[in-house]
């Protein structure tokens, strides 16, 4: 009867979720200390926070108020302020400073890189501008490469890609000598790895080091899922096995949510739902009878996966 009840509950939630998607309702993550009844409140909260951070960060960068910019990043890093889905506000700060669309005009990239490099060259004792410079170079490398399959990339683009990735690597390695550490250093290294292609052993070692230093920074998991795609450096079944192991290791509702996010980032929503229900009924998901657990995965998954994909996909700078 328990399994039957869960299945009935899940079917109801699936139908509600399907209706929401058909109406193009796309909820966004909320502050972990707030509870919102409706998806529009969630969307407004994230959008408002993102816009506020972007405006402040770019204003400080343009006006060369580097000490204030460093302090802002240090505060986000220390507080680990994040949304309920685990997305850190520190990531939003870096995204605001360094990320442009890969198809943005060359002059836009040059102008942004000039601002970041000036910060990088003048503020030599802080890790934040070092990571920001490396992140921007990763994005600039993808700007040269484009988002197509490697076989379709122009031969003239590859020298620019390698040059920019090489500089990003040098900056990241030099930043290791600083006493301050940053989770985005690791996620940026993982983005560099997507283009430079280190061996699997090296990648796994850095991933484990990252989790040991910043266990709450869930972007690491999304980055590794991309790395394990067959299109990149994985083999069939690699990322699915990794998602299951990672979720089990975290456990509880947070593990459930991560599992849904990782599957949702790489597959259709419907396939994610089938996998999640199969996982729940097989006993791998704790708190299986909790309506709140099912509801949270339903309402938090969609924004989490879409945000994660835009932020940690290979062509992004995170």
Distance, CA of 93 to CA of 82 (rounded, Å): 12
Give the DSSP per-residue string, 25-75.
Answer: ------BTT---SSHHHHHHHHHHHHHHHHHHHHHHHHTT-HHHHHHHHHH
The pLDDT of residue 273: 54
Question: In the structure, what pLDDT confidence band is assigned to residue 318 with cuts at 50, 70 and 90?
Answer: low
Strand segments, DSSP code E, in the chain are: none
- Cβ-contact 287, 252 below 8 angstroms: yes
**Dihedral angle at the C-alpha atoms of 274, 275, 280, 282, nearest 10 degrees?**
110
Whether 43 maps to a domain, the answer reads no
Higher pLDDT, 48 or 76: 76
Distance, CA of 242 to CA of 35 (rounded, Å): 31
Question: In the structure, what pLDDT confidence band is assigned to residue 283 with cuts at 50, 70 and 90?
Answer: low
Q: What is the pLDDT of residues 100-134, one digit of tens each?
A: 988 889 999 999 999 999 999 999 899 999 999 99
Distance, CA of 318 to CA of 157 (rounded, Å): 22
Q: What is the pLDDT of residues 212-243, one digit of tens each?
A: 999 999 999 999 999 999 889 999 999 999 99
In this structure, the answer to whether residues 156 and 229 fall within a common structural domain is no
- Cβ-contact 73, 89 below 8 angstroms: no
* Domain carrying residue 103: 51-217
In this structure, the answer to whether residues 56 and 190 fall within a common structural domain is yes
List the beta bridge partners of residue 31: 83
- Cβ-contact 269, 21 below 8 angstroms: yes
pLDDT over 80 (residue 15) = no
Whether 55 maps to a domain, the answer reads yes
Collapsed DSSP state (helix, strand, coil) of residue 82? strand
Question: In the structure, what pLDDT confidence band is assigned to residue 40 with cuts at 50, 70 and 90?
Answer: very low
Whether 2 maps to a domain, the answer reads no
The pLDDT of 155-183, averaged and rounded, is 95
In this structure, the answer to whether residues 209 and 235 fall within a common structural domain is no
Q: Which of 217, 238, 258 is the last residue of a domain?
A: 217
In this structure, the answer to whether residues 166 and 257 fall within a common structural domain is no
Q: Which of 217, 235, 269 is the last residue of a domain?
A: 217
Give the DSSP per-residue string, 169-196.
Answer: HHHHHHHTTSS---HHHHHHHHHHHHHH
Distance, CA of 107 to CA of 181 (rounded, Å): 32
- From the list 184, 166, 226, 194, the residue with the least C-alpha distance to 80 is 184
Question: In the structure, what pLDDT confidence band is assigned to residue 95 with cuts at 50, 70 and 90?
Answer: very high
In this structure, the answer to whether residues 58 and 205 fall within a common structural domain is yes
Question: In the structure, what pLDDT confidence band is assigned to residue 5 with cuts at 50, 70 and 90?
Answer: very low
The CATH code of the domain that includes 160 is: 1.25.40
The pLDDT of residue 259: 84
In this structure, the answer to whether residues 114 and 169 fall within a common structural domain is yes
Residue 216: phi, psi to the nearest 5? -90, -5
Whether 46 maps to a domain, the answer reads no
Give how many domains the chain has, as a whole number.
2
- How large a percentage of the chain has pLDDT more than 90? 51
The pLDDT of residue 253: 82
What radius of gyration, in Å, describes the C-alpha atoms of the chain? 20
Distance, CA of 52 to CA of 263 (rounded, Å): 30
In this structure, the answer to whether residues 73 and 183 fall within a common structural domain is yes
Mean pLDDT comparison of 256-265, 269-278, 280-289, highest-scoring range:
256-265
In this structure, the answer to whether residues 104 and 208 fall within a common structural domain is yes
Higher pLDDT, 92 or 10: 92
In this structure, the answer to whether residues 228 and 211 fall within a common structural domain is no
- Cα-based angle 204, 185, 120 (whole degrees, multiple of 5): 150
The pLDDT of 54-76, averaged and rounded, is 97
Whether 168 maps to a domain, the answer reads yes
Among 104-108, 138-142, 165-169, 311-315, the least confident range: 311-315
Chain mean pLDDT for the chain: 78
Whether 34 maps to a domain, the answer reads no
Whether 132 maps to a domain, the answer reads yes
Measured CA to CA in angstroms, residue 258 lies from 28, 261, 304 at distances of 16, 5, 9
In this structure, the answer to whether residues 236 and 205 fall within a common structural domain is no
pLDDT over 70 (residue 93) = yes
The pLDDT of residue 133: 98
Q: What is the pLDDT of residues 188-214, one digit of tens each?
A: 999 999 998 878 899 999 999 999 999
Cα dihedral sign, 191-197-200-203: negative
- Cα-based angle 221, 226, 232 (whole degrees, multiple of 5): 145
List the beta bridge partners of residue 82: 88
Question: In the structure, what pLDDT confidence band is assigned to residue 278 with cuts at 50, 70 and 90?
Answer: low
- Cβ-contact 210, 193 below 8 angstroms: no
């Amino acid at each position: 009867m328990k399994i039957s009840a869960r299945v009935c509950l899940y079917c109801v939630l699936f139908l509600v979720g399907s209706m929401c998607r058909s109406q193009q309702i796309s909820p966004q993550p909320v502050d972990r200390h707030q509870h919102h009844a409706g998806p529009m409140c969630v969307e407004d909260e994230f959008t408002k926070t993102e816009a506020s951070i972007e405006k402040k960060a770019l204003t400080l960068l343009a006006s060369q108020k580097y000490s204030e910019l460093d302090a802002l990043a240090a505060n986000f890093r220390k507080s680990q302020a994040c949304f309920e889905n685990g997305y850190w506000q520190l990531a939003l700060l870096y995204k605001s400073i360094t990320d442009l669309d890969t198809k943005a005009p060359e002059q836009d990239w040059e102008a942004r890189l000039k601002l970041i490099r000036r910060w990088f060259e003048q503020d030599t004792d802080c890790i934040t501008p070092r990571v920001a410079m490396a992140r921007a170079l990763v994005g600039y490398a993808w700007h040269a490469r484009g988002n197509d399959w490697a076989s379709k990339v122009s031969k003239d683009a590859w020298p620019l890609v390698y040059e920019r990735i090489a500089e990003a690597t040098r900056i990241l390695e030099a930043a290791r000598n600083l006493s301050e550490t940053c989770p985005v250093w690791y996620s940026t290294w993982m983005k560099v790895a997507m283009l430079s292609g280190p061996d699997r052993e090296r990648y796994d070692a850095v991933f484990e080091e990252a989790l040991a230093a910043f266990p709450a920074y869930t972007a690491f998991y999304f980055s590794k899922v991309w790395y394990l795609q067959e299109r990149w450096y994985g083999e069939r079944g690699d990322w699915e096995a990794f998602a299951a192991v990672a979720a089990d290791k975290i456990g509880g509702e947070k593990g459930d949510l991560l599992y849904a996010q990782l599957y949702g980032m790489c597959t259709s929503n419907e396939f994610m739902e089938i996998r999640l229900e199969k996982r729940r009924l097989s006993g791998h998901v704790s708190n299986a009878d909790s309506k709140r657990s099912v509801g949270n995965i339903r309402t938090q998954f969609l924004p989490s996966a879409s945000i994660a994909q835009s932020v940690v996909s290979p062509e992004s700078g995170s």
